Amino acid sequence: MPTLAVPPWLISHRHYPGFLAAFFLVVLRTAIGWHFLVEGLDKVESVELAKKPFSAEVYLRNAAGPLATEYRRMLPDADALAMLDPAALKESWTDRVSRLEAHYGLDAGQQAKAKELLEKAYEWVDVWFNAPDNREAREKYLHGLKQVEETERNPDALSYDLERAWESRRSLEADRKTITAPIVARGDDLAAAVTALATPEQAKAAGTYAAPWTFLDVANRMTMYGLCAMGACLILGFLTPFAALCAAGFLAMIYLSMPPLANSPPNPKAEGHYWIVNKNLVEMFACLVVATTASGHWFGLDALFFGWLRRRRWARHERRLAEKYGLVLEDSAA
């Protein structure tokens, strides 16, 4: 049987969708990248300009659905249980004062004054927790929180019960802020008083004090700069599959934080009405489509940096096809 000469481009580009399809896939990739980049830049700007800094706490704290508990666990002391425990509160303030002393390099005399401030803060804690109104509000909050958590953990809970638990949790969030507000303020006053003990020379040499990072701080930075990086990569067509997969993973996390399911509470920030499918899910699937195409090689920096790898891979593919079907490539025939 005679062999047939087949041009290499016919084999190498047999999955090419055509100009219009490729064009709109590139447009889709660029549009998604633009969305991510603008969102990331807005969050970075909110932090740098101190105009209501971005925080992922809103998504984590208001998470609903089957993974709500896991999301809330990512927050440091999400339900203020440690803050509402006198012993744990005193321990946290002691640790905070120790870190301030070490940061500013306070001498023995300054440390003695810091200890006096800490002792006064301890007295305030004892008075506050023993006040009848505060004790009653604290017990009411903890009791309501226990009931909500029991309902959320109950696999046999009805949709009506879950909705009531969600409404109760929103009410408890308001109670938590009200109860802990004076405690937070007193802790900040203590930190400010200890900081004031440092001399101007000590303060200048030590620089501004920064509290140890929590998981929330890491999540905030990763979200802000990750959105910018993913958006820029998608727009430029650089590391396109990896950037698109990261974008899809991020959107999946946002979707799972408050999925539009039948037994989940409605998202107060949602535009329109959704059931199972919402805009985050649609954009996530669009990212997966981008990740499985070569749009970065059709138009993007992937062609410049990784085009030689793609050409080598397709050359091996051509040789395998030629051997399998007894074809003769034009180059080898020449």
- Cβ density class 188-227: b for 16+ within 10 Å, e for less: eebbebbbebbeeeebeebeeeeeeeeebeebbeebbebb
Q: Which of 111, 121, 125, 103 is nearest to 212 (CA)?
A: 103
- The confidence score (pLDDT) of residue 191 equals 96
Contacts of residue 69, defined as CB under 8 A and 6 or more positions apart, other chains included, come to 152, 153
Q: What are the boundaries of each domain within the chain? A: 5-51+217-333, 77-211
pLDDT in tens, the chain (334 residues): 444 444 444 444 555 778 899 999 999 999 999 999 999 999 999 887 766 788 998 888 888 777 888 888 899 999 999 999 999 999 999 999 999 999 999 999 999 999 999 999 999 999 999 999 999 999 999 999 999 989 888 888 777 787 888 889 889 999 999 999 999 999 999 999 999 999 999 999 999 998 899 999 999 999 999 999 999 999 999 999 999 999 999 999 999 888 887 666 666 566 677 788 999 999 999 999 999 998 998 899 998 888 777 777 767 766 776 677 666 655 544 3
How far is 231 from 256, CA to CA, in rounded Å?
Answer: 21
Q: Is 277 helix (H, G, I), strand (E, B) or coil?
A: strand
* The model's pTM: 0.80
What's 221-252 look like in SS3?
HHHHHHHHHHHHHHHHCCCHHHHHHHHHHHHH
**Which pair of structure tokens corresponds to residue 276?**
């199972």
- The confidence score (pLDDT) of residue 325 equals 65
How far is 83 from 93, CA to CA, in rounded Å?
Answer: 10
Contact 322, 328 (CB under 8 A): yes
- The confidence score (pLDDT) of residue 9 equals 44
- The confidence score (pLDDT) of residue 12 equals 45
- The confidence score (pLDDT) of residue 91 equals 96
- The confidence score (pLDDT) of residue 105 equals 95
- The confidence score (pLDDT) of residue 4 equals 45
- The confidence score (pLDDT) of residue 3 equals 46
Beta bridge mates, 275: 277
Beta bridge mates, 5: 328
